[in-house]
Amino acid sequence: MRNPTCNTRHATSGIFRAAWIMLYLLTVVASSNARAQRSIDPARRVVLAEPPPNRLREQFVWTANDAAALDPTLQARVRGQNDKVEPHFFRAHFYVEQVPREATLYLAGPRAATVYLNGQVVLQSTDHPTRPKGLTVLHAAVSAALRPGENVIAIEAMRGHSSLHTGADATINQVTYGEVLACKIVPQSTGIDAKPLVISDGSWRSVLASGTGWQEPGFDDTSWPRVQALGVLGMKSDFLQWNADAGLYTWPGYAGISDRLRVFSLQPVTDTKSADGETVDFGREISGRVRITTRSSEPLTVQVSYGESREEAERGKSYLGTRTMLIPPRSISYGPKSGFRYVRVIAPQSLLRRIQIDAQGITYPVRYLGWFESSDPTVNRIWETAAYTARLCMQEGIWDGVKRDRARWMGDLDVTGRTISSVFGEDAAVEETMKDIIGEPPVTRDINTIVGYSALWITGQAELYRHSGDRNYLQAMRVPLMQLVKRMESEVDADGVFRNHEGHKVFVDWSEGFSSDTAESRVATGFELTRAFDEAAFLFEQLGDKEEAAQARTEADQMRAAARVHELTGETFGQRWQTNAMAVLSGSTDAGERDAIWGQILSHIGEGDAVITPYYGYYVLSAMAELGHGREALDWMRRYWGGMLEEGATSFWEAYDPHWPKQDFHAYLQADGKQGYYVSLAHGWSSGPAPWLMERVLGIRPTDAGFREVTIAPELDGLKWARGAEPTPRGAIRVEVSANVVMVTLPPETRATVRLPFSADAVVKQNGRLLPTWDEAGNQKKIVLDHAGTYRFDVTSPLVTEEKHHAP
């Protein structure tokens, strides 16, 4: 017979445990609500709506077999501005039952064009290099040229002045290169949408040599070949990158927002009026478009200029230029999509009193499944701003920035993807972008045409797999992975050194000597390749390809050995922070070199004239922590990312140096070989503090696919307390740490190895039971947790943050 006292004790314990769990859950919910209320992200506190449906049917078309942007040899050698002035001729037939009182022709794509309607010139436009970026919409009233019955539209078009982006895929290149044409005629006055009379589509015909009388209605065009049809405007993510569609905001019915995204309304925080206009401030960087509403009975015209800073908006320096908005009577009109905080509306005050200005935000619908809080408000704000920066860049795929370039770059994604996985758990979005970046096999060129970005595709792939555990996706990437590894092997010399004999594009960072093919950038790229071969070995092992894994591991070992022979200068790898940080992360250093790299290089981070971007700052933070100097890394984070906050940042910038001038700060930022307002103030590659704080301070690191195994090794690094959670495929891992208590909550099917930073004389209790802490050899015992639940560790002496107490 059981002891009744014992049964009572167990029952009472169960009641208290249930009450404690309920109180804990209520605290978690209350804490989550409080975080949402104080978040910088406006999309956390408003109702998100579905975007307007895309009812367009008109397509981008071009002369068949003539797109220079589809020529791989051209893509390999052309970058930047380039002119193409050869004329292209287009014709289409359409039927009109009754001629409308008003009709408007719209044309986009060519930068120079002459349009004939039934043999009559209805629109003529010439090119000019100062025309704003992206596709420009031309329009003309054409009702007088229409006739009942059959009509013929004929267009002579030139691509004109444009730019080719070698880092993008073929479809993006063709759109941004300007080798597309879109056209329609709407039976309404300018700016009003309606069912069109004719649209550009696959039935149109086009040639390069037209013949006499080609523009006349009676000309026989049956021998002309059909056009190349790319697809409906706004229906492919490739059409929306590189600001290619920035000018399409004046195309009736165009939104350019896919159904995967959501929209919300945002009111200005302040506005500043002047005689010739008004500047509205939305209080933070947003991704979206300005919205202007009028109840006027007549059409109105204003000009708008966006700015991530006030100066960009007000000084005529907007990246998209100053744009004209036509607002039809009693209607709502939208400006171009971009990243901005300020909008300058140029119009007389008498007109401004007749309109209402707000914004429509465009966001990816995710929840903040991960979070971080600590005793330091600055560190908390850094984490929140980093997470928001990454979310801004979640659009049609994961972009580098929402103002520039609005494109998929692997260097950016290696950092942004970690943030997205750690904060939002949105691994599918990262998978899709990585798949789009590498393209369909065979892999014949480096990722984004940059050698180091090929390496980062592999390291990003490995980190993604540790977070997602998506084996089906990894299996689908097996062939591209193998082909990319073979390409990387071909770029490394037989002795294990990357010397770039073939002249591949080299980029490490926007810092002197790192953004072109230099000795310094080649060494740093070599360490990126070394790290990638190690991660490729991990991925091949997960796929069961032991031979490929062994080959990749051998390649990494050979490069490490070669670096010590050819690249080591004394006990460090040169004098640059970026190079030495990547040397540490690639495992290319021994104990003596690690001490020297800290003492001579990384302990001086931020000193002198050298520049580092927030992008490579993430790798430096990681290297500093790996060297056992997490406290110093956290201090530098406060100075560097905190420095941007002190200068008014609401999202983290593409480039920053604390020594740059503070007055009109945006005018002095430097990146991409340029200086000033061109530089992005919302760049996902600057979001590294968010995952770093979760990796280092909370100590959460997945060591197997999908967090099935995880190491939890919290380090306060001078903070009084910290707490947070990281999403996994089976629920969140939660960690709370203070001077004497560590609490860990595990989801199901997760095996955690916990390392507590306690001193040798500490007494540790796990859920109230005394825990042996040291083995007979004097090494700290591993604490292994293999069941879901909440575990509390109490320590009788303060926790310490010395790495030396962490025995392997």
Please provide the DSSP assignment of 689-729 as one string: HHHHHHHHTS-EEE-SGGGSEEEE----TT-SEEEEEEEET
Runs of H (alpha helix) within 439-470: 451-468
**For residues 356-382, average pLDDT:** 98
* pLDDT score recorded for residue 807: 34
Query: Which pLDDT score is estimated for 13?
Result: 44
Confidence of residue 803 (pLDDT cuts 50, 70, 90): very low
What is the identity of the amino acid at 428?
A
pLDDT at 772: 78
The pLDDT value given to residue 557: 98
pLDDT of residue 15: 52
Could you tell me how many helices (H) and strands (E) the chain has, helices first?
Answer: 18, 36
Pairing outcome for strands 783-785 and 751-754: antiparallel
Structure confidence at residue 763 (pLDDT): 84
Q: What is the pLDDT of residues 25-74, one digit of tens each?
A: 555 555 666 676 679 999 998 999 999 999 999 999 999 988 777 776 66
DSSP one-letter code for 98: S
Q: Which of 107-111, 275-279, 496-500, 785-789 has the lowest mean pLDDT?
A: 107-111
DSSP 749: T
Question: In this predicted structure, what is the pLDDT of residue 2?
Answer: 37
Question: Which range has the worst mean pLDDT, 97-111, 171-185, 506-520, 607-621?
Answer: 171-185
Domain boundaries, the chain: 59-250, 262-363, 368-431+608-696, 439-570, 701-805
Q: What is the pLDDT at residue 73?
A: 64
pLDDT at position 801 = 43
CB atoms closer than 10 angstroms to residue 542: 18
Q: Which of 75-84, 163-172, 636-645 has the lowest mean pLDDT?
A: 75-84
DSSP per residue over 176-218, as a string? Answer: HTT--BEEEEESSSTT-----SEE--TT-EEESS--TTTTSTT
Centroid of chain to Cα 447: 16
Nearest by Cα to 680 from 406, 414, 418, 411 = 406
Task: Identify any residues that bridge with 569 across adjacent strands, giving them in sequence order.
Answer: 572
Q: Does domain 701-805 have CATH number 2.60.40.10?
A: no
User: Can the peptide bond before residue 442 be classed as cis, meaning omega within 30 degrees of 0?
Assistant: yes
Give the range among 125-129, 135-139, 463-467 with minimum mean pLDDT: 125-129
Cis bond leading into 259, ω under 30°? Answer: no
Q: What's residue 331's pLDDT?
A: 96
453 close to 685: Cβ distance less than 8 angstroms: no
Please report the pLDDT score of residue 75 as a whole number.
59
Average pLDDT over residues 277-298: 97
pLDDT digits (tens, 9 = 90+) for 625-677: 999 999 999 999 999 999 999 999 999 999 999 999 999 999 999 999 999 99
Domain 439-570 belongs in CATH node 1.50.10.10: yes
Domain boundaries 59-250, corresponding CATH code: 2.60.120.260
Q: Per-residue pLDDT for 452 more than 90? A: yes
Q: Are 585 and 531 in contact, with CB atoms under 8 Å apart?
A: yes
| Burial of 477 from C-beta contacts in 10 A (0-12 / 13-18 / 19+) | buried
Provide CB contacts within 8 A for 772, sequence distance 6+: 781
Q: What is the pLDDT of residues 460-505, one digit of tens each?
A: 999 999 999 999 999 999 999 999 999 999 999 999 999 999 999 9
Average pLDDT value for the chain: 91
Residue 457 has pLDDT above 60, yes or no: yes
Q: Is the pLDDT of residue 548 over 80?
A: yes
Min mean pLDDT across 64-73, 582-591, 610-619, 732-741 is at 64-73
Of all residues in the chain, the percent with pLDDT exceeding 90 is: 81
pLDDT of residue 67: 79
Higher-pLDDT residue of 799 and 337 is 337
Chain segment 665-711, per-residue pLDDT in tens: 999 999 999 999 999 999 999 999 999 999 999 999 999 999 999 99
Compute the distance between CA of residue 329 and CA of residue 251 in angstroms, rounded to an integer: 17
Whole-number Cα distances in Å, 289 to 170, 192, 307, 446, 635: 27, 19, 12, 34, 37
Q: What is the pLDDT of residue 723?
A: 98
Same fold, 59-250 and 262-363: yes
This prediction has a pTM of: 0.93
Read off the pLDDT band of 1 (50, 70, 90).
very low
> pLDDT over 70 for what percent of the chain?
89
Candidates 2.60.120.260, 3.40.190.10, 2.40.128.120, 3.40.50.150; CATH matching 262-363: 2.60.120.260
Contact 311, 341 (CB under 8 A): no
